[in-house]
Amino acid sequence: MNIIDKLKTLGVEVTPEIEKAFPGEFVSDLEVQKKNEKIITLENEKKELETKQENLEKELQTLKDAAPDADALNQKIADLTATLENERKERKEKDEVARLDSLVTDFFADKHFVNAITADAIKKQLVETLNSDEARGKSVSDLFDAIVKDEKGNYKPDILIDDKTFQAQQKRSQIVGNNINQPDGAKLSTAELMKMKNQNPDMDITPYLRRGKEK
C-alpha cells in the first residue's frame, strides 16, 4: 500500500498536489528500523571479516618470517631421530653378537683346536655366519662343519685335534712342567722316563734322555 491509498482509507481528500508530494510506496517505521538494523549487522560482519583477514595475513607473515628457523629445527629433530635409531640398531646388533659369541663359546667346550689363534679365527667366522642370512634353517653344528670340513666331509688340516691327541698333549705339558725338572734340580732317571713313555706313547722323551747323558 502506498501513501496515497493510505490517506484515502483515512478519509483524506487527495488532491493532485498531494499525489505529487507523496509518490511511491509507503514504508512503515518498523520496516525502516529493520532495514537499518540489517545494514548495521552487515556492516559489523564486514568489519569482523576484515579484521579476521588482517589477523590471518599477519599470522601468515609471521610464519613466513619464522620458516628458516622452523626448517632448521625440523632438520635437527630429523638428525637426532636418525642418530637415536642408529644407536638402537647398533646396540641391538652388539647384543646379538654377544649372544651368538656366548653360544659359540658353549659349543666349543668339547672342541680342541691346534692353537688359540685358530680357535679365535674359527669362532669369529662362525659368529659372523650365525648372524647372517646363511644361518637360516641351519644349526650351529651344520655351520661349524661347513667351515672346518672339506667337500668330502673330512676335517681340514691344522684346525682341530682329536681327543686322544689332546689328552696326550695335556699330559706331556704337565710332565714337562712338573716332573722333568724337580724342585731340587734333580733329573728323572731313565727308568722314570721310560715309565712315562709307556703311560704316554705319543710323548717324545729323546730330548730328556740326551739331557741325562749331558749330565
What whole-number percentage of the chain has pLDDT above 90? Answer: 11
Mean pLDDT of the chain: 76
Interacting residues of 155 by C-beta distance below 8 A, sequence separation 6+:
148, 149
Least confident segment among 18-27, 61-70, 103-112, 161-170: 18-27
Q: How confident is the model at residue 196 (pLDDT cuts 50, 70, 90)?
A: low
Tell me how far apart the alpha carbons of residues 105 and 109 are, in angstroms, rounded to a whole number: 7
Instruction: Give yes or no for residue 50 having a pLDDT over 60.
Output: yes
Tell me how far apart the alpha carbons of residues 144 and 168 are, in angstroms, rounded to a whole number: 25
Name the residue ranges covered by the structural domains of the chain. 163-214
Least confident segment among 73-77, 105-109, 129-133, 146-150: 73-77
What whole-number percentage of the chain has pLDDT above 70? Answer: 67
C-alpha cell at 205: 722323551
Least confident segment among 61-70, 136-145, 149-158: 61-70
Q: Report the pLDDT value the prediction gives residue 178, as an integer from 0 to 100.
A: 47
Instruction: Average the pLDDT over 170-197 and give the result.
Output: 57
- Residue 160 pairs in a beta bridge with 113
Q: Are 122 and 85 in contact (CB under 8 A)?
A: no
Instruction: Give yes or no for residue 29 having a pLDDT over 70.
Output: no
Q: Are 116 and 123 in contact (CB under 8 A)?
A: no
Tell me how far apart the alpha carbons of residues 119 and 147 are, in angstroms, rounded to a whole number: 12
Helical H runs in the chain?
3-9, 16-21, 29-107, 116-130, 140-148, 163-178, 190-199, 206-214
How many CB atoms sit inside 10 A of residue 188's CB?
20
Select the more confidently predicted residue: 173 or 163: 163
Least confident segment among 34-43, 95-104, 186-195: 186-195
